[in-house]
Amino acid sequence: MGEKIFVGADHVGFNLKNRLVDELKKLGYEPIDVGPKKLDPADDYPDYAKPVAKAVSSGEVQRGVLTCGTGLGMSYAANRFPKVRAALAWNEQIAELSREHGDSNLLILPAQFVSEEQGINILHKWLETGFEGGRHQRRVEKIDK
């Protein structure tokens, strides 16, 4: 089995989340979809941010992916969890830098501002980019000190 990656969304990110789950499967990962399983315009992003961020924070998995309309609500909620470095990325370059410099372990996509195609491309860039370490290692370590 491939690497497990927790994935979640709210209603605005619902369609993009389903595309991301399919793409992760195609790439050989094992996405754990925390939902929503059906579109509910009344759902709330913290209910999906928390299980994904918790799994990353506890070390149960190495990485997670979240999406909502702006990505901001998911970001507020996910980054409260120790050791979570959730990066809101609306293009491939930000996703790349979030990995190279910040060792981001949770990708957040703003579904209202990226197409599904762009979202998939951003996901690819984020998955394939490594952490540079060095001076960035020191900075990342200081976050939790």
Residue holding tokens 């989340």? Answer: 17
25: Cβ contacts below 8 Å, ≥ 6 apart: 31
The residue count for the chain: 145
43: Cβ contacts below 8 Å, ≥ 6 apart: 10, 11, 36
Q: With CB under 6 A as the contact rule, which of the stretches 20-28, 65-73, 97-105, 134-142 interacts with ligand RB5?
A: 65-73
10 binds ligand RB5 (CB under 6 A): yes
- Which entry of 11, 68, 124, 136 is annotated as an active-site residue? 68
With CB under 6 A as the contact rule, the residue among 6, 14, 29, 45 that binds ligand RB5 is 45
**2 touches 30 (CB < 8 A):** yes
39 binds ligand RB5 (CB under 6 A): no
Tell me the closest approach of the beta carbon of residue 139 to ligand RB5, in angstroms: 27
Partners of residue 138 on adjacent β-strands: none
Q: With CB under 6 A as the contact rule, which of the stretches 53-61, 70-78, 90-98, 118-126 interacts with ligand RB5?
A: 70-78
Q: Which is nearer to ligand RB5, 17 or 125 (CB)?
A: 17
- Whole-angstrom distance, CA of residue 78 vs CA of residue 85: 8
Summarize as ranges the residues that interact with ligand RB5 (CB under 6 A): 10, 12, 45, 68-70, 72-73
